[in-house]
Amino acid sequence: MDMKATKKLGLKDRYRNQTRGLHWDTTYQPMDEVFPYDKYEGIKIHDWEKWEDPFRLTMDAYWKYQAEKERKLYAVLDAFNQSNGHLNVTDARYINAIKLFFAAIPLHEYMAHRGFAIAGRQFRGVGPRVACQMQSIDEIRHMQTQMHTASNYNKYYNGMHAVHHQLPRMWYASVPKSFFDDAITAGPFEWMIAIGFSFEYVLTNLLFVPFMSGAAYNGDLGSMTFGFSAQSDEARHMTLGLECIKFMLEQDPDNLPIVQRWIDKWTWRGTRVLSLVAMMMDYMLPKRVMSWKEAWEIYFEQNGGALFKDLERYGIKLPKCALQGIEEKEHISHQLWAGIYQWNFGTSVHSWVPSDDELDWLSAKYPNTFDKYYRPRWEFWREQEKTGTQFINTGLAENCQVCQFPMLFTEPGDPTTLCHRETHYKEERYHFCSDHCKEIFENEPEKYIQAWLPMNQLPQGTCGGGTLEGWMEWVHLVPGQDNGNFEGSQDQANFQKWKGQVTGNN
Amino acid sequence: MSNVFIAFQTTEDSRPIVESILADNPGAKATESPGMVKIDAEGSLTVKRTSIEERIGRAFDLQELQVHLITISGHLDEDDDEFTLAWPN
């Protein structure tokens, strides 16, 4: 890459000219009429000039480097296609991890694109407007590159044909959907905390860094490349989230309690969404880079811990939910995979009981919990499979009104009891998976009573008439093809057949 | 003092960048994982334009880092010559 440019101004001057020189205050209409949304959340801003984007990226540099990233990425995707790259993955079980990724992430990248376009219009300060504009364009690029990567798998494997249709209908896809719906219907500053700070700064490392390194380890060149290409934008997004926090806290001391409540709320909401990634890392990658627990310790406890220590000078405290997150790092991946397994007639991914060497790996990585609570269950379920009495849970778990997960997580301090909270509001009862989701509801009940919960709708007959067959048709799930066990699936048979064609001549 | 970090994709373009960082920041430690390399340092870490230019034999704009970057931790301060990550306490 040769990108020598003749510099007329230094980086700081160029950035200053772009983000200050191009702005004017309106005179025909008052600024409050032109920007009606950046005050109602209660955040007080006295001087928008104090906003500083540390990356100081100008538009010409932005387009130049983004174009370079795209050229590199699409060269890899072409090569992946031309060489039947899908047959180079370690094991066809791996493809279920990226099916889940494609069901949960690209459409939310699109929501992030929309959200930053909206926030970019709503802020009256030109610094955040420019940064939001760039991030909005980044996010649509992520959606597009992920869909292009997915299409190379969708040609050959089941379960990816209806991700958009399934988003509000499929019980696990509604979890990340509710996260982004919640964020995009908030005001612009809360949006910045939800996505820019909690998701991008505190949590996105857990999605894109160890998981994408896992994609590389499992021979998935396509996913590794879009993953790292997306993550190269995330460094800028994290900086934007952190800058926004500092800006709000430095502008007025009255902002502190509002910001603290948003941090508490969105750290928990993000932690719940990432349970899906925990499960992918511990159970769905045939070759594992690190356990969820190890990733959590590096990227949440150490990195997030450094951040919260730094924010102490403004009076920000570590969110209360962090302690529960730390306890749950030893549990959530096991509990969620058990959920997918027992309801696998209703998933567009295949599932399986871990093999002996995988059980041994889990025992070694989770010495405090796996042998005591989870290994015996997997061994019991494996025995049941052998005798033709596989455990299928035809009961429906309640959904949490806030995070929308089925109630499958356990009590803090007692991993043998399911956790269930409830509250009354306007003569209705609402159910929650945790104290933190309950607290989020109680702070904004009018928002969350509107949540549309797929499982609660099912008995009402609004999801295909109230029968399992009707539900499958309604959700565009093809029974015996998209769902059920990996063992004996069409995906497994096809992968073996095609792999044989690659290594032989018949 | 908390650690800062920076991670790059393992590519031919990022190799001299990683070498420069390790040379300019004694105490910085690189950890390789599949497809990536992560560099941790206590307190702060600086990427210097001139060190990279010495290794690659051409002019280098520090914003080119963004093509290879995976993630960072710490407050960033960037100008034409240096890209610094730091936790102030």
Whether residue A233 is predicted with pLDDT greater than 60 in this model: the reply is yes
Q: Is A18 on the interface with B (CB under 8 A)?
A: no
Prediction ipTM score: 0.89
Q: Phi/psi class of residue A364: alpha, beta or left (left: φ > 0; alpha: ψ in -120 to 50)?
A: alpha
pLDDT (0 to 100) of residue A210: 80
Q: Record the pTM.
A: 0.93
Which of A302, A232, A308 is CA-nearest to residue A263?
A308
**Nearest CA distance, A68 vs chain B (angstrom):** 7
Indicate the residue of A7, A65, A309 with minimum beta-carbon distance to B67: A65
pLDDT (0 to 100) of residue A16: 82
pLDDT (0 to 100) of residue B14: 95
> Two tokens at A184?
């995009």
Are B3 and A68 in contact (CB < 8 Å)? Answer: no
Q: Which residue has the higher pLDDT, A10 or A487?
A: A487
- What's the rounded Cα separation, in Å, for the pair A327 and A331? 8
Indicate the residue of A54, A69, A213 with minimum beta-carbon distance to B35: A213
C-alpha distances in angstroms, A315 versus A240, A309, A333, A338, A443? 20, 10, 33, 40, 21
Whether residue A32 is predicted with pLDDT greater than 90 in this model: the reply is yes
Task: Supply the range of the domain harboring residue B7.
Answer: 3-86
* Mean pLDDT within A238-253: 93
Confidence of residue A22 (pLDDT cuts 50, 70, 90): confident
Tell me which of B70, B75, B77, B89 to substitute to probe the interface with A (most A C-beta atoms closer than 10 Å). Answer: B70
> Two tokens at A402?
């806030």
Q: 3-state secondary structure string, A55-88?
A: CCCCHHHHHHHHHHHHHHHHHHHHHHHHCCHHHH
pLDDT, one tens digit per residue, over B52-83 is: 999 999 999 999 998 999 889 999 998 899 99
Q: How big is chain B by its Cα radius of gyration, in Å?
A: 12
Nearest residue on chain B to A218, judged by CA atoms? B34
Q: How big is chain A by its Cα radius of gyration, in Å?
A: 24
pLDDT, one tens digit per residue, over A76-109 is: 999 999 989 999 999 999 999 999 999 989 999 9
Indicate the residue of A3, A216, A235 with minimum beta-carbon distance to B64: A3
Residue A315, phi then psi, degrees to nearest 5: 95, 5
- 3 state DSSP class of B3: strand
pLDDT, one tens digit per residue, over A323-361 is: 999 999 999 999 999 999 999 999 999 999 999 999 999
The domains found in chain A, sorted by start residue, are: 27-332 (1.10.620.20), 396-468 (no CATH)
* Mean pLDDT within A257-269: 96
pLDDT (0 to 100) of residue A23: 83
Whether residue A1 is predicted with pLDDT greater than 70 in this model: the reply is no
Indicate the residue of A57, A231, A309 with minimum beta-carbon distance to B63: A57
pLDDT (0 to 100) of residue B89: 67
- Kindly give, in sequence order, each residue whose CB lies less than 8 Å from that of residue A30, ignoring residues fewer than 6 positions away: none
Q: Is A10 on the interface with B (CB under 8 A)?
A: yes
C-alpha distances in angstroms, A296 versus A216, A326, A330, B42? 20, 8, 10, 20
| Ranges A95-104, A181-190, A196-205: which has the least confidence | A196-205
- Kindly give, in sequence order, each residue whose CB lies less than 8 Å from that of residue B71, ignoring residues fewer than 6 positions away: A205, A208, A209, A231, A234, A235, A238, B5, B6, B7, B38
| Number of domains within chain B | 1
**Nearest CA distance, A398 vs chain B (angstrom):** 37
- What's the rounded Cα separation, in Å, for the pair A267 and A272? 9
Which of B64, B79, B61, B24 is CA-nearest to residue B46?
B24
Which of A424, A141, A104 is CA-nearest to residue A277?
A104
Q: If you average pLDDT over every residue of chain A, what do you get?
A: 92
Domain holding B29: CATH number? 3.90.56.10
Tell me which of A303, A308, A311, A316 to substitute to probe the interface with B (most B C-beta atoms closer than 10 Å). Answer: A303
Confidence of residue B48 (pLDDT cuts 50, 70, 90): very high
Residue type, A243: E
pLDDT (0 to 100) of residue B35: 86
What DSSP letter does each residue of A100-117 carry, written as one string?
A: HHHHHSHHHHHHHHHHHH
Whether residue A286 is predicted with pLDDT greater than 70 in this model: the reply is yes
Whether residue A193 is predicted with pLDDT greater than 90 in this model: the reply is yes
pLDDT (0 to 100) of residue A276: 92
> Two tokens at A134?
């760039």
Whether residue A234 is predicted with pLDDT greater than 90 in this model: the reply is no
pLDDT (0 to 100) of residue A5: 60
- What's the rounded Cα separation, in Å, for the pair A234 and A139? 10
CA end-to-end span of chain B: 6
